[in-house]
Amino acid sequence: MLGKLRNLLIAFSLLTFVAGCSTSAEPEVINTPEVEVAAIPEEPAIPEKRTLNDGVFSEAQASAGQYVYDNSCKTCHDMRFYRGVLRSWANQPLIDFWYSILGEMPADNPGSLSDNEYTEVIAYILSENGFPAGDTELDPNNGMEQISIVAP
Ligand code: HEC
């Protein structure tokens, strides 16, 4: 009787052992570290901290932004409005300002412009508020969280 039970137990644990083997044989666990390793080389590409005074948008972006501004923003607030807005956003990352405008403006149709157009209109607003253009393009996918807003 006991011998039978023991045989049964052995058979059962053998079964679970086999089952365990077949699932752990799948490569899912092995893949995870590879993904992490692949992400590491991107780190040196992250630009250093900058502010709006460091030429964070191009001249071309600012002039393209004027077109967007005239067509989509001008009707509701004038340029003076943005001085106060930028002041209230001082020390915050420019990417947060970008997302805020993308999510809320134009107030009558939020999110209706392309990512590029939002970026260009911000370049124009910055330019009109006295911030310098530079050699690098403003890009929401590249280092904009490292750019601090400063009061105009
Ligand atoms: C239909 C009217 C309308 C249009 C068009 C419009 N806005 Fe606005 N905007 C508003 C209103 C209303 C507010 C909120 C009230 C306020 O702050 O005076 C606002 C607020 C803002 C703010 C302040 C947000 C903050 O966090 O303080 C910014 C920046 C802004 N708009 C940018 C834009 C830009 C850029 C465009 C064009 C792409 C645009 N708006 C188009 C009506 C508009």
76-118 pLDDT, tens digit each: 999 999 999 999 999 999 999 999 999 999 999 999 999 999 9
User: Which of 96, 105, 121 has most ligand 1 atoms within 8 Å of its beta carbon, as the pocket-test mutant?
Assistant: 105
Looking at the fold, whether 66 and 140 belong to one and the same domain comes out as yes
Q: Contact at 8 Å (CB) between 149 and 50? A: no
Are residue 124 and residue 143 in the same domain, yes or no? yes
Domain that residue 20 falls in: 2-45
Average pLDDT over residues 28-50: 62
Q: Is the pLDDT of residue 122 over 60?
A: yes
Could you report the per-residue pLDDT of 125-140, keeping only the tens digit for each? 999 999 999 999 999 9
Residues 57 and 126 reside in one and the same domain: yes
Work out how many domains the chain is built from and give that number: 2
pTM for the complete prediction?
A: 0.75
Q: Are residues 85 and 132 in the same domain?
A: yes
pLDDT score at 42: 58
Place of tokens 């058979």: 11
Q: Is 137 found in the same domain as 71?
A: yes
Q: Is the pLDDT of residue 2 over 70?
A: no
Q: Which residues pair with 51 in a beta bridge?
A: 148
Distance (Å) from CA 81 to ligand 1 centroid:
9
Query: Do 62 and 104 share a domain, yes or no?
Result: yes
Cβ of 48 closer than 6 Å to ligand 1, yes or no, is: no
